Amino acid sequence: EDKVVQSPLSLVVHEGDTVTLNCSYEVTNFRSLLWYKQEKKAPTFLFMLTSSGIEKKSGRLSSILDKKELSSILNITATQTGDSAIYLCAVDRDDKIIFGKGTRLHILP
């Protein structure tokens, strides 16, 4: 059965800390791995990863995929209170998207 598991489920850190969010998957016909940030309404797209070992960066956020380990990490450096959100990992296998349950990140001022 296809599944996407995120850890930790929730995380509380202080502003300025660096956090690493994990996503592991067992999915057949893998096409890509997606990271989203969800605050109020629709999840905001962050990254799409298809190739192993190539880091994608956007400001203080970065992510990398390890196809051998069937996992991905999302790093956020110098966290800010605005980074507080639920971070979703999803794996696209073309005929369906399988979402993880998310990591709830809370940044304390």
Partner 1 sequence: GAVVSQHPSRVICKSGTSVKIECRSLDFQATTMFWYRQFPKQSLMLMATSNEGSKATYEQGVEKDKFLINHASLTLSTLTVTSAHPEDSSFYICSARVATSGLDTQYFGPGTRLTVL
Interface positions with partner 1 (CB under 8 A): 34, 36, 38, 41-45, 48, 86, 88, 90, 92, 95-99, 101-102, 104
53: left (phi over 0), alpha (psi -120 to 50) or beta: left
Half-sphere exposure for 15 (CA within 13 Å, toward CB): 5
Is the CB of 1 or the CB of 69 nearer to partner 1? 1
Rounded to a whole number of angstroms, the minimum distance from the CB of residue 49 to partner 1 is 11
Instruction: Give the residue with the Cβ less far from partner 1, 67 or 104.
Output: 104
* Residues 109, 106: Cα–Cα separation, whole Å: 10
Shortest Å, Cβ 38 to partner 1: 7
Backbone angles phi, psi at 16, to 5 degrees: 100, -20
Q: How far is the CB of 82 from partner 1 (least distance, A)?
A: 19
Q: What residue has token string 């598991």?
A: 5
> Measured from the CB atom, is 44 or 77 closer to partner 1?
44
